[in-house]
Structure 1
């Protein structure tokens, strides 16, 4: 079974791993939050995304360690177009990702900020399972720093 066309992650390098973790089902961005947006330079943007969706059943290694949720590190490289309005001041953002004929279009937004990023290349660089203490409590980074990349 191949990667489903039209899935938000289908155009990202590394999407097969996410597809496999979710038991060969496309992980949803519904309820996902973008915890961090980092503009490294004009053609490299890095995101930390916490999914609202989780595999069912959970992978055995996750369950053994008490993990029940997943964070993704995404990299948008070779940025073709970038539009940012407002200020991102510590708030969480909603996120949409779509593959277009021009590249990967990523949009993050909250009430005071919006960014539209069209990149030639996008990848899922890292998947980090973690324990979310309660469903619906998205957006709490626990331990570790995401600045090391």
Structure 2
């Protein structure tokens, strides 16, 4: 395979994009819903040659434009629309949901975040963090409690 041919570069870019679209198709499928992120690479390819660079470009486009992640209502959403709750803030009722939403809207530029898009850790969520998914972590818990005093 010739790494400098424009056809091959274009093809690798399309493969990267189609990989994300395939995740969306799997998420919508009864047979593959549980494992829909398994085909997604755990990180971008090292750009040691031009074809890997073009693959990564297509992957970036797909990650930005394709709704491929199942939210809590089983709707497909984009990676930019979710936040992964690594500490279980919503499920443990540690902090009132309204404070969590305010914090996320302010600190993560997700003004329209809803509880449906605050996701607990799930199979494949670790991969999404490599691609830029935002997370709620222990340090966020400390920030929220320092900004908003509340009683337990």
TM-score by length of 1: 0.23
Q: Which has the higher contact order (CA 8 A, sep 6+)?
A: 1
**Larger strand share, 1 or 2:** 1
**Larger helix share, 1 or 2:** 2
